[in-house]
Amino acid sequence: MVDGVLLLDKPVGPSSQRVLGHVKHLLGAKKAGHAGTLDPMASGLLPILFGEATKYAAQGLDADKTYLAEICLGARTRTGDREGDVIEQALVPALDRAQVESVLVKFLGQSLQVPPMYSAIKRDGRALYDYARSGEEVVREPRSIRIHALELTRFHLPVLEVRVVCSKGTYIRTLAEDIGAALGCPAHLQSLRRTGVGPLQAPEIVPLESIEQADSQGRLRFLKPVDWLIRDWPEVVIDAAATERFFHGQTIFCSGHSPLSQCRVRDESGEFLGTGRIDAAGLLHPSRVRSLHS
């Protein structure tokens, strides 16, 4: 069994699912998943989870995301990004940096965003992009999103580069179009790179080429521990007798611990056992227990 987390630098071009399948094959893993899809035109951090680590995929899927996005002003496309046909063009206003920054501030905080037609959201069992490809437009319900940070990192008209920290489910293509509209012209997403998923940041990521060029043992050395996505959770250490009870899903009394809604559990040797919670009576309740094969 292959267990652990690979912080992969997804290249532009292939889909997240295709990259997942390729890397799963390279590592000879039986079970794998990823913690947050990237469009084919996007690059950057794609956490790939193997074996026991897949139990914690939600921590990546639900986490805030950080992106570097290039927005091209002056043209709107059918897909909202550079891969779609241009459907509207206009002159770019004579903007200065201060004007752009004053508009970006207005997008901070919580708002409602209408998902794009070219998305995988299902409507009556069909993905929205299926409707879009057949020329159909359907009504989409606005979704609540939150923009935590929106910083202008490069200003070179007609292209703006922005750093975005946002909640899950935020479509950066739609954000690019909305920013353009607020600046008085059509716009589309020219490039997108994800640099963070929750606490996971770009300096730790591994290029796909490095995985492909390594031997079988070298590939395994790129893996982070199973609990990497939850490494900021409080840690509880239990003895051998308690470990046996934990593996059987039984509650354990943990003296000296305050109540915890979620915690990582380790044995005295430092081995990760799973997750749990501690109630007001000091009882540790197992939540997710690591399989004995690992």
Give me the catalytic one of 39, 81, 178, 227: 39
What is 215-242 written as a DSSP string? Answer: -HHHHHTTPBPTTGGGTTS-EEEE-HHH
Whether residue 39 lies in the annotated active site: yes
Give the separation between CA 11 and CA 44, rounded to whole angstroms.
Answer: 7
Number of other residues whose CB lies within 10 A of the CB of residue 32: 19
How is residue 60 written in tokens? Answer: 């990546």
Give the separation between CA 209 and CA 8, rounded to whole angstroms.
Answer: 10
Is 214 exposed, middle or buried (CB count within 10 Å of its CB: 0-12, 13-18, 19+)? middle
Q: CB of 187 within 8 A of CB of 175? A: no
Q: CB of 23 within 8 A of CB of 211? A: yes
Q: CB of 210 within 8 A of CB of 222? A: yes
Give the separation between CA 169 and CA 121, rounded to whole angstroms.
Answer: 10
Q: CB of 162 within 8 A of CB of 175? A: no
Catalytic residues: 39
